[in-house]
Structures are given as structure tokens and as C-alpha cells.
Chains A and B, each alone.
Chain A
Amino acid sequence: MKEIKVAVIDDSPFSVAMLSNMLEENGFQVVGSANNLQQAVDMVKEQNPDVVTMDITMPEADGIECTKALHKINPDLKVVIVSSMMDDEIMRKAKRAKISGYVQKPVDAEELTLTIRRIMADEELFAELEKLYYTVFKEALTDTFNKFFHSVPEYRDEETANIEQTSRGISAVIGIIGRYGGRMILDMSTETTMAIARKLFKIEQPTKEHIINVIGEISNIIAGNACSMMNKSNPLFGLRVAPPTIVYGESIKISKSELNTVTSVKADTSFGEIYMNIGFNRGECE
């Protein structure tokens, strides 16, 4: 594991010295410290730490405001609140400000060390998931089409923009649960789903039930296979899928999601266009 760069932000020079020593003794590289907002901004710009410890009560700008300012410089910066006071109100604000962890003063060295190591290990695991998931889901879609229809979809360029989508007519939504929560959406026109149903059920006029069944079954297989492959790659993901919910109608808008990572792709199949959208959430501080 690479050396973790930590900086200490606290208005008390005593706390800065104590925390810096504690961190260094426990194998972290302490790259800087700051006593107020301006110093913190300058220090983060110059030293680019992975993690900062943050006092909650500081003159001028408090720890939450300070965190927001630092996240503007580096959105991936991990912030651990180190404070003597903590109540529900602060906790709510901390969650909204995307704080990664919390340690109460007086600080226990082991607790602080574990908190930072856990945050960084989690960061690596999420980065691994981010690198992997799109390829795996695409592969699962390709495999499913290849097995059922002996044809392989042609993919257009993937998109990572998280924006509202208009459904083509019928959409399967599958919730994903595990170390990271997420969901997959498979969307296609009624005509495309009909064509698939005709082929699979070997009937001329599929009913609404056939159509709903087909998109549900296909999305279930794709998501299930993809999650198995992900878990095989790293069991820590522990992904499972919920059964599909099917949405169909004249006008469906799929809202922009509250997800940390989203990738979507349009695939051209012999039945028509299929849109697949997968996203995961990093989860919040515990």
C-alpha cells in the first residue's frame, strides 16, 4: 500500500503538534498543517494530501465550511472530523458535507489510525469497482445476446454524464445491493421488446405479459451474471440483485440519479436499440 499523505487542520497549535506526532508514529506521512481556513486552502493546494483531520470549532470558518472549501479544490479529499463535540445536528451537516469519518477528542491513536486506513482501503476498493463495472456489464449483455440469439450487439461510445433520460417505452430497473449499492436500467422500445419476445417465445403476437416477462428476464440475467463476475473478481464487493421492476408507458422520464458513478451505453442489436445504464454509490460516512 502506498504511503498515505495526511494533513492536520486545527486552530490549536497544541492539537496540531499532538495529532501530527500521533500520525507520524503510526506510519502516515504528515505533509502539512493549518490553523484556519485560508491556511488550509493554501496548504491543500500545495501539498495535495489524501486525508485531512479537521477540527469542528475554529474561529471564522468552522470545520464544515472549511471542508466545503477544500472539496472545491479537491473533490476526492477525505476529511476526518476530529472534535470534542458531536451531536445530531453536526452529524447531519457532516453527512451533507461528505465527511468520511469522525474521531472524538481526546483522540485514541488506534482509533484514528484505523479510521484513516479504513477510509483509504475503501477508496481503493471503490476505484477498483469503478474501473471494472462497465466492462463487466457490457460483457454480460453481449454474452446474454450471444447465448440466446447468436448475435452480438454493437456498442456506441459509452457516456458517463449523469443526466435525466427519456425512456424508449419500456424500462427494467434492477436494484444492486452489496458493499456498494447501485442499480441497472435496461431500456428499449416496445417494438424492440416485441421482436425479442417473438424470437424467444416463437410466437407471432406476443402479449403485454410476454413483453414484460422478456425484458424482466433478460435484465435479471444480465445483472445477475455481471454481479457474479464482479464478485469473482473481488469477493469484497458482495453484490446481489433485487428482482426487476418494469416500467412502461407513453412518457417516462428517468431522473438524474444520486450516484457517484454512472455509465450508460446504447447498443444496436438485430431487434433494435437497447440502452443500458449502470450506477453505483460510494455510500456515506458511518
Chain B
Amino acid sequence: MSNKYEEAFSNTFLNIMPQFGIEDIALESQTECGSKINAPGVVCIVGVTGELHGNVIFAMTEACAKRIASAMMGGMPIEAFDEMAQSAVSELGNMLAAGACTYLEVMGIKADISTPTLMHGDFAVQASFEQVTCLQMRISDTFFYIYVSLERN
């Protein structure tokens, strides 16, 4: 089942990334996946309540995270996924979720977000609901995943 509100997340991504000079981006695919997510290395979890509630999980490889963090810091080279880079990705999660909320509000859906929690390493994620939509966003030759695990109230 596809809901229109997922486009709030993909479109926000497509709007925000060019602000950091990341231009070669596209929504590659939108699929329904199970609630178990194999994290590619870095995830940013944001809670949602309001007319929609659940979680949005941003997931990427560490290499992709470093690339985005570097772009967010004006092209500053990033060697390790350190505190500074983690802070940048956390901020990105916040911006993407907040942007999507603004988009949803225009669609007539009111939702609020929590602060993001960033985790990295080798692990799996269990989303809050059985139905999860995976938005696979392409950035040049790598992928950024937005898992939307939301239900209408």
C-alpha cells in the first residue's frame, strides 16, 4: 500500500541536498519492505507524533555519511566519521524530518518530530510497525535510504 505522505520525505531530500552542492540525486525506487532493516553502517532515528505517528529512519553507509558531512561543511575533507561528521549527519536527519513535516502540513497533515538519535556500527533495526516504506535515494553512485514507518492516527 502506498501513501501519498511518503513523497514528503523524498521531495524534501531532493530539495535539501542541492543546498549543500549535492546535485546528482534521484528517487531510485520506493518499495514496501519488512520491519527489519539491516543497517548499512549509520542510522539516524527520528520519532514522529501527531496525525501521523511512528518513526523515520535515515540509513547510509559510513562512506556516504562522510561524503554528505563533507558537503555540509563546505567541502571540508573528512578522514574519519568523527564527532564533527556525526553531528553533521544528525543535523541532516533533523533538517530532512523537519522539512518533511512542513511539507506534510501543506498537505493538511499535522505531525511533529523528536530530536534525532544517531547510531553507527554493525547492527539491525526493528521498526515500530510491520509496514515500512523504503525510499531508495541515489546520490551519484551511492545510496541513501529513508525508511518511513508511520501510521495515520
**Residues in chain A within 8 A of chain B (CB atoms):** 164, 167, 171, 173-177, 181-183, 185, 212, 216, 240-259, 279-281
Contact = CB atoms under 8 A, between A and B. Distances in A.
Contacts of B122: 249-252
Interface string B103-143: 00000000011111111111111111100000000000000
A216 B128 CA distance: 9
A281 B127 CA distance: 24
A240 B50 CA distance: 9
B124 A247 contact: yes
Interface stretch (B3-11, B23-31, B41-49, B66-74): B41-49
Nearest to A249: B123
Interface of B: 39, 43, 45-50, 53-55, 57, 83, 86-87, 90-91, 94, 112-129, 149
A249 B55 contact: no
B90 A181 contact: no
A242 B91 contact: no
B86 A175 contact: no
Contacts of A181: 112-115
Contact of A246 (B86, B113, B125): B125
Report which residue of B116, B119, B122, B125 has the largest number of chain A beta carbons within 10 angstroms of its beta carbon. B119
A182 B113 CA distance: 9
A242 B49 CA distance: 6
B86 A243 contact: no
B121 A249 contact: yes
Contacts of B50: 177
Nearest to A242: B47
A217 to B, nearest CB: 12
Contact of A241 (B49, B117, B119): B49
B127 A183 contact: no
A97 B113 CA distance: 23
A249 B122 CA distance: 6
